[in-house]
């Protein structure tokens, strides 16, 4: 749209792209910034750099949200209020993980989709506008869902996804890793069948490029917390989808061998968390798939055989807090969320995960 200038930290950086690389900023410091395009102010805000070493970290997890509806905007508003509430604390919110289905079609008839995310106008209404305040302050680190490509919608959705998000290393990627202060390494994965050419096919196949990369990346991680996140849950009580354990067993076994203690997923439109048991290799799997969509059916009858400990049918996002070797996970929505066990008894929040 024209030449741009970014003013931050006492410097002005000019760019002809839709991004600029800023150097020379101090670690763990807050910087106000302004952005001009064609010498006209288009925006600004404040960003905070990451620390070189960290003991604490707070972040959000959001899934299955890009509907463009008032329900999505309500969750976005709740996220902004939670961000502001924590901004002056000793552990402000640093980023958002998305666990897929970032943009939904308005109409999806299989052979025909409308406003599915293939065009930027779809992204304005379903992503940039609802989350405008957060985007000014913190990054979104995404993973794709089946609705972000031709697995369920339009093949052109995936190139738009890769263009409209910004990825670590300035390189669009369907899977990648990033770190926070030596405390946690995050492994963003693609569990979909989306393709940019040909018929849908699994990106996650055993022995495939992504799975080989994941094995090497996990083996190279020295962080205490190794946190994979992706769309399809290996453990799931429904009601709309089955568990993906069968096709992702090689990842589940790799997580067990690599010292993973927690995994975040979406796809099912409710909140669930798995048992801490031999069946799950004592890894907590969290489903957060109701950032905009919702399936309200009761799943308590399925929870035992699915190895799910807690469930709630409420639109929400997750607040995740790490303090040293302890993690606390809390679902937050527009109203109070009641988490139930398989007998219907309320489970107090947060869910706590402890490193061994």
User: With the C-alpha atoms ordered 291, 293, 299, 304, is the resulting torsion angle positive or negative?
Assistant: negative
Place of tokens 């096709």: 247
Q: What is the pLDDT of residues 96-136, one digit of tens each?
A: 999 999 999 999 988 789 999 999 999 999 999 999 999 99
Residue pair 184/227 in contact by the 8 Å Cβ criterion? yes
Chain centroid to CA 253: 22
Q: What is the pLDDT of residues 246-273, one digit of tens each?
A: 999 999 999 999 999 999 999 999 999 9
pLDDT value, residue 169: 87
Please tell me the distance from the alpha carbon of residue 281 to that of residue 277, in angstroms, as a whole number. Answer: 6
Report, as an integer, the average pLDDT of 296-323.
98
pLDDT value, residue 111: 76
Report, as an integer, the average pLDDT of 217-235.
98
pLDDT value, residue 218: 98
Q: What is the pLDDT of residues 11-43, one digit of tens each?
A: 999 999 989 999 999 999 999 999 999 999 999
Q: What is the pLDDT of residues 66-94, one digit of tens each?
A: 999 999 999 999 999 999 999 999 999 99
Report, as an integer, the average pLDDT of 192-216.
96
Considering the chain, what is the average pLDDT of its residues?
97
Per-residue pLDDT for 228 more than 90? yes
Residue pair 215/173 in contact by the 8 Å Cβ criterion? no
CATH architecture of residue range(s) 51-354: 4-Layer Sandwich (3.60)
Per-residue pLDDT for 58 more than 80? yes
pLDDT value, residue 110: 82
β partners of residue 319: 60, 330
pLDDT value, residue 170: 86
pLDDT value, residue 339: 98
Q: What is the pLDDT of residues 145-160, one digit of tens each?
A: 999 999 999 999 999 9
Of 108-117, 173-182, 183-192, 194-203, the range with the lowest mean pLDDT is 108-117
- Domain range annotation of the chain: 1-49, 51-354
Per DSSP, the three-state class of 198 is coil
């Amino acid at each position: 749209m024209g030449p741009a200038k970014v003013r931050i930290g006492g410097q002005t950086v000019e760019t002809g792209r839709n991004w600029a690389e800023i150097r020379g900023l101090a670690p763990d410091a807050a910087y106000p910034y302004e952005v001009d395009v064609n010498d006209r102010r288009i925006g600004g805000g404040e960003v905070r750099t990451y620390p070189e070493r960290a003991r604490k970290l707070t972040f959000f997890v959001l899934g299955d949200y890009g509907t463009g509806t008032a329900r999505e905007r309500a969750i976005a508003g709740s996220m902004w209020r939670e961000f502001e509430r924590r901004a002056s604390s000793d552990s402000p919110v640093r980023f958002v993980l998305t666990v897929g289905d970032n943009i939904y079609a308005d109409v999806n008839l299989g052979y025909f989709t409308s406003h599915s995310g293939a065009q930027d106008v779809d992204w304005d209404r379903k992503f940039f506008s609802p989350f405008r305040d957060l985007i000014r302050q913190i990054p979104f680190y995404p993973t794709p869902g089946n609705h972000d490509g031709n697995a369920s919608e339009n093949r052109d959705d995936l190139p738009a996804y890769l263009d409209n998000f910004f990825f670590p290393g300035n390189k669009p990627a369907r899977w990648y890793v990033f770190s926070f202060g030596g405390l946690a390494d995050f492994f963003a994965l693609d569990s979909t069948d989306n393709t940019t050419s040909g018929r849908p096919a699994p990106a996650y196949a055993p022995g495939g490029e992504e799975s080989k990369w994941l094995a090497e990346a996990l083996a190279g991680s020295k962080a205490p917390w190794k946190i994979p996140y992706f769309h399809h849950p290996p453990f799931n009580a429904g009601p709309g989808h089955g568990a993906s354990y069968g096709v992702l067993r090689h990842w589940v076994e790799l997580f067990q061998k690599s010292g993973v203690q927690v995994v975040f997923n979406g796809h099912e439109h409710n909140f669930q968390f798995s048992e801490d048991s031999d069946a799950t290799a004592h890894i907590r799997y969290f489903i957060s798939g109701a950032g905009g969509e919702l399936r309200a059916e009761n799943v308590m009858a399925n929870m035992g055989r699915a190895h799910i400990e807690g469930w709630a049918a409420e639109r929400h996002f997750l607040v995740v807090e790490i303090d040293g070797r302890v993690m606390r996970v809390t679902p937050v929505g527009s109203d109070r969320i009641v988490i139930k066990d398989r007998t219907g008894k309320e489970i107090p929040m947060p869910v706590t995960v402890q490193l061994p």
